[in-house]
């Protein structure tokens, strides 16, 4: 039986996945980005598929994106993230000073997308779509997962309603919107179809169990069953974790001259770099 939210979710994502001009998509093996790819295809749009990889490494997400692009006869653009120390330092300083990020996840997750935007500029892509914010509807972060399995929270929608409302209330300073402002002068519009107040209403009063069991993000999977044929991933995985090697790449800073405080985590170095601008 198809999930009751599948149809309204599908309708909203289809409506939000439209654009004039050439289109591209930031594709991983996750449900969110694949649902946007499915929406674009259903709208008659054949986007260029973009995926990044750390130099010398081919992650699960990258291999999935390349394979899916080939399966669907879509153009595929590979974006290589250099991991020499100079490149790492330059990228981190950009994320901290230009975008104004301070949190580790924000810094490390925006850098690959910045390079995808730069590549899209070279290619001539005018619209970049992503599955950003999809996680907020389902509470698939590690913290939410712990909350869901505490007490009666699996079936009580109250805490998840509050989480959605708070996390989706103001996204103007989010990774995606800040990157959108970076891309705009290049003639590139960044689209996030999950950034949608009507979608918040659709999910209101849906409990964690009702939308994540027996499969994670079940309404979206039912809305776009073609994703199962493509081999979409089973569980949510943060961009900088898994086998992307993003977090590991920036750990090289711990053995660099920037580690003036002998910190055990790169967070100390990021905080130190943030002060460079203040002291400048």
Which residue ranges form the domains of the chain, and what is each CATH number? 6-279 (3.40.50.620)
Mean pLDDT for the stretch of residues 71-88: 97
Q: What is the pTM of this model?
A: 0.95
Instruction: Name the pLDDT band for 142 (thresholds 50, 70, 90).
Output: confident
pLDDT digits (tens, 9 = 90+) for 8-17: 999 999 999 9
**How does residue 238 score in pLDDT terms, banded at 50, 70 and 90?**
low
- Quickly state the pLDDT bin for 280 (edges 50, 70, 90): very low
Predicted pLDDT of residue 278? 54
Decide if pLDDT at 237 tops 90.
Answer: no
Mean pLDDT, residues 236-248: 76
Least confident window among 36-45, 59-68, 166-175, 201-210: 166-175
For 80-95, write each residue's pLDDT tens digit.
999 999 999 999 999 9
Mean pLDDT, the chain, integer? 94
Residue 21 C-alpha from the chain's centroid: 23
């Amino acid at each position: 039986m198809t999930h009751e939210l599948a149809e309204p979710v599908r309708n909203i994502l289809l409506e939000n996945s439209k654009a004039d001009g050439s289109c591209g998509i930031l594709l991983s093996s996750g449900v969110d980005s694949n649902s946007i790819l499915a929406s674009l295809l259903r709208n008659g749009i054949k986007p260029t598929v973009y995926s990044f990889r750390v130099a010398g490494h081919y992650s699960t997400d990258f291999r999935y994106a390349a394979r899916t692009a080939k399966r669907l006869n879509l153009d595929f653009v590979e974006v290589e993230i250099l991991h020499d120390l100079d490149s790492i330092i330059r990228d981190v300083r950009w994320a901290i000073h230009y975008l104004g990020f301070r949190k580790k996840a924000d810094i490390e997750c925006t850098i690959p997308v910045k390079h995808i935007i730069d590549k899209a500029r070279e290619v001539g892509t005018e619209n970049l779509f992503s599955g950003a914010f999809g996680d907020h509807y389902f509470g698939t972060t590690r913290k939410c997962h712990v909350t869901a399995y505490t007490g009666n929270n699996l079936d009580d929608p109250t805490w998840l309603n509050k989480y959605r409302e708070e996390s989706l209330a103001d996204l103007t300073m989010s990774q995606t919107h800040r990157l959108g402002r970076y891309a705009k002068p290049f003639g590139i519009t960044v689209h996030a179809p999950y950034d949608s107040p009507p979608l918040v209403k659709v999910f209101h009063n849906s409990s964690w169990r009702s939308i994540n069991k027996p499969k994670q993000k079940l309404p979206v999977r039912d809305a776009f069953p073609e994703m199962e044929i493509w081999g979409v991933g089973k569980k949510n995985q943060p961009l900088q974790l898994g086998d992307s090697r993003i977090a590991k790449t920036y750990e090289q800073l711990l053995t660099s001259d920037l580690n003036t405080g002998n910190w055990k985590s790169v967070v100390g170095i990021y905080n130190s770099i943030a002060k460079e601008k203040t002291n400048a």
